[in-house]
Structure 1
Amino acid sequence: MKKTLCTLLVLSLTGCSREFIEKIYDVDYEPTNRFAKHLAQLPGQFKKDTAALNQLINAFSGKVKNKWGKREFKIAGKRNYVKYIDNYLSRADVNFESGKIVVETVATTEPKEHLRQAIITTLLTPDDPAQVDLFSSKKIKLDGQPFLYKQVVDQDHKAIQWSWRAKRYADYLIANHLKVKTVDFKKSYYVDIPMVDNQVEIRSYQYANIVRKASQRYGIAEDLIYAIIKTESSFNPYAVSWANAYGLMQIVPKTAGKDVFKLVKKRSGQPSPQYLYNPTNNIDTGTAYFYLLKNRYLKQVQNPTSLQYSMISAYNGGTGGVLNTFSRNRTRAMRDINQLKPNQVYWALTKKHPNQESRRYLEKVTKYKKEFNQH
């Protein structure tokens, strides 16, 4: 586990060229939590270890491309789980947005058996990110409740929790739904596994008590917390991004994490990836950051609805991004926000915010908030 955390920590503290990542994979490179500069973001912090990260990524991608070819390079992100096993010969790609799982292998000897083991491993992977190294082909210890439990059902429409049922379903898939395609002059044997229609809701229910406690602790609405989690990670407990963010609410250790530790928790340092991969810690930290936005950085916003729009936008694009939407002068920007009606503030933040991603972000979170309130 130390090796896993070391690998993730290297990723969290380093930067990577946009061109390199976008060239090899369609990654949402834009920082999920681009916090304001006053949140301990140091000049050049994402550049100083670029060489180290490039070495790590090159080593990992080199092993993947050696087996799969350049066009088939896939890697874990915020809303998808990708795990290689079997010396990079087999992999699983779980897309939490589309609700589709692809398990495949390019093994040349006994490919069906390699695929069978990959399916079983995918179905029984535990709900504990600390046990899974996403950037290697390290074997996973299959114990504890699977993180896909109830999100996938077998041919009898039963949830898969135990080894015997996973093996039985793997045999069924290979016998009835096996597909073959060409991958870099090799054959890829694979199966598509559909997730249940309400897979997002099932994952969200797992965190109901955690969200409720965090809401009560910090005075932040539950529907807002849910909407942020769905936007950031689609309730993917293994979420990791190139913006150095981890877990359900995509917390950046050196910015928001460090700020929460210092100003809310009254403790030194910053949260580790292991700390942030714990759902309770992650949701608590993300909600605590909203508390800081509400009661510290944006406390001068008078209208509650305008304040919430500003908080949501700031979670993605920083407090500075919110204020710069209205004026580069902080005092004037705050005055303008308070003179506008909430719908005008929303319009400005979704149409005039300097960052296009932040414009879409507020729209998404607002939409998801409404959806949660309709259930």
Structure 2
Amino acid sequence: MKKRALIFSLLMLSGCSREFVEKIYDVDYGTTNRFAKNLAPLPGQFTKDAAALDRLMASFSGQVHRYWGEDDNLVAGKRQYVKYTDGYQSRAHVDFVRGMIIVETVATTEPEKHLKEAITTTLLTPDDPAGVDLYSASAIEFNGKPFLYGQVLDQDKKPIEWSWRANQFADHLIATQLKKRQVRYQQAYYVEIPMVADHINKRSYKYASIVRDASRRYGIAEDLIYAIIKTESSFNPYAVSHANAYGLMQVVPNTAGADVFKLVKNKSGKPSPQYLFDPAKNIDTGTAYFYILRNRYLKQIRDPLSLHYSMISAYNGGTGGVLKTFHNNRKRAMQDLNNLQPNQVYWALTNKHPKAEARRYLQKVTKFQQEFNRGKI
């Protein structure tokens, strides 16, 4: 699984009752990876030259293993930001689910100096994913407001925007919070930085105008867009997955992305990873795909709430998965679905869908929609 995750990450570079709702709130949901079994084919250059792919993998994983070993190999994902710097000797790990940042170094000379530089780099990392290479140890160019602004407060309970405050906070952390652990045959020096309690809300606020515009453009409810983003990436614009999905709404270029380009944008091809790392373009594309689901693939569903549930399920597991829940024959499946009440459709999709991942997905998104409307997102 780690190898698959690394391959696809590296390729990035080139109307319910109260009882019913309460039941949803009580479920403990696991994480999901959409389209995990529908991996996009490799780009032609790598298909033709397997050795090139091997070299590409080795350039990153070999350096990580050199300093951190195979057991401590972290790679960026949907809900975690991981960035190596300082010749792979230092790294930052932002866990958006736990709300915790770990910055560490395995430098053997002047480790505290290396750690301070890694801390300040992490705190000042820009909000634009296009300027950060997640799969090398290349330096980060600081411009604009930091990505973590307001999500982390310094020792004076102040947000960190400028280098002087980041350096001051780094000195404080090293003086008061420095920890050590063994990494292979060497010491790792690290600090743990808790994020503020409402860090998810603070990230979500940044995209309010984008979500509002996309909602109006395609007629898709804002609460649904927010719930999808929270489910897919926890509002992490750097999100990537081994399913070859990118950005806030985890759009897969070869499937949903290509459909949007063809059916909505009237253009050929598919969005690039760089295109999908732009939050505005990502949210526009993900929302446009819901428009396609509603007005094309699932347009025969008559009840609006049944359609709503089916759209959410299809975003994760495809239209075919929704229909197979009800019957192997697509025409018969649509008839059977339309003969059910919305709560029965929900029950079927969360209990009988062919994929367990899709069953959990609908539950989780519905839960987050309710939280949004109660002011908790």
State the TM-score, normalized to the length of structure 2.
0.89
Deviation of the 1:97 alpha carbon: 0.8
Amino acid at match of 2:34: T
1-structure distance, mates of 2:84, 2:12: 20
CA-to-aligned-CA distance 1:90-128 (integer Å, 9 cap, x gap): 000001111000000000000000000000000000011
Amino acid at match of 2:41: Q
Contact 1:34 1:317 in 2 (8 A): no
2-structure distance, mates of 1:100, 1:340: 44
1-structure distance, mates of 2:344, 2:57: 44
**Which residue pairs with 2:34 in the alignment?**
32
Deviation of the 1:57 alpha carbon: 2.9
Is 1:123 aligned with 2:123?
Answer: yes
| Matched residue SS, 2:127 | coil
**Which residue pairs with 2:22 in the alignment?**
none
Amino acid at match of 1:227: A
2-structure distance, mates of 1:292, 1:300: 13
Q: 1:136 to 1:10 in 2, by over 3 A?
A: closer
Equivalent positions of 1:220-369 (< 5 A) are 220-369=220-369
**Which residue pairs with 2:192 in the alignment?**
192
RMSD, matched Cα: 2.2
**Which residue pairs with 2:169 in the alignment?**
169
Contact 1:63 1:88 in 2 (8 A): yes
| Matched residue SS, 2:325 | helix
2-structure distance, mates of 1:137, 1:29: 28
**Which residue pairs with 2:73 in the alignment?**
73
2-structure distance, mates of 1:99, 1:31: 20
**Which residue pairs with 2:17 in the alignment?**
none
| Matched residue SS, 1:91 | strand
Q: 1:75 to 1:13 in 2, by over 3 A?
A: closer
Amino acid at match of 1:88: Y
**Which residue pairs with 1:22 in the alignment?**
none
**Which residue pairs with 2:97 in the alignment?**
97
Deviation of the 1:58 alpha carbon: 3.5
CA-to-aligned-CA distance 1:289-309 (integer Å, 9 cap, x gap): 000000000000111111011
Where structure 2 has 5 or more consecutive residues not aligned to the other structure, the ranges are 1-6, 15-29
Contact 1:99 1:196 in 2 (8 A): yes
**Which residue pairs with 2:64 in the alignment?**
64
1-structure distance, mates of 2:220, 2:134: 32
| Matched residue SS, 1:245 | coil
**Which residue pairs with 1:112 in the alignment?**
112
Deviation of the 1:56 alpha carbon: 2.7
Amino acid at match of 1:327: H
Q: 1:337 to 1:201 in 2, by over 3 A?
A: same
Which shows bigger deviation, 311-320 or 53-62?
53-62
**Which residue pairs with 2:18 in the alignment?**
none
Deviation of the 1:142 alpha carbon: 1.4
Contact 1:9 1:272 in 2 (8 A): no
CA-to-aligned-CA distance 1:60-90 (integer Å, 9 cap, x gap): 1111011011110000000000000000000
2-structure distance, mates of 1:30, 1:54: 28
**Which residue pairs with 1:17 in the alignment?**
none
Contact 2:127 2:146 in 1 (8 A): yes
**Which residue pairs with 1:215 in the alignment?**
215
Aligned length: 350
Contact 2:302 2:338 in 1 (8 A): yes
Is 1:45 aligned with 2:41?
Answer: yes
1-structure distance, mates of 2:33, 2:177: 38
1-structure distance, mates of 2:66, 2:136: 14
Contact 1:247 1:279 in 2 (8 A): yes
Deviation of the 1:312 alpha carbon: 0.3
Deviation of the 1:31 alpha carbon: 4.6
Contact 1:9 1:273 in 2 (8 A): no
Contact 2:131 2:140 in 1 (8 A): yes
| Matched residue SS, 1:246 | coil
Deviation of the 1:11 alpha carbon: 1.6
Is 1:140 aligned with 2:140?
Answer: yes
Contact 2:10 2:57 in 1 (8 A): no
Contact 1:13 1:46 in 2 (8 A): no
Q: 1:266 to 1:324 in 2, by over 3 A?
A: same
**Which residue pairs with 2:20 in the alignment?**
none
Contact 1:232 1:250 in 2 (8 A): yes
Where structure 1 has 5 or more consecutive residues not aligned to the other structure, the ranges are 1-6, 15-27, 36-40
Contact 2:309 2:346 in 1 (8 A): yes
Deviation of the 1:30 alpha carbon: 7.0
2-structure distance, mates of 1:11, 1:33: 17
Contact 2:8 2:244 in 1 (8 A): no
CA-to-aligned-CA distance 1:196-222 (integer Å, 9 cap, x gap): 000000000000011011001101000
State the TM-score, normalized to the length of structure 1.
0.89
Q: 1:310 to 1:54 in 2, by over 3 A?
A: farther
| Matched residue SS, 1:294 | helix
Deviation of the 1:272 alpha carbon: 1.2
1-structure distance, mates of 2:9, 2:353: 32
1-structure distance, mates of 2:371, 2:327: 33
Contact 1:30 1:243 in 2 (8 A): no
2-structure distance, mates of 1:182, 1:201: 35
Q: 1:54 to 1:374 in 2, by over 3 A?
A: farther
Contact 2:8 2:242 in 1 (8 A): no
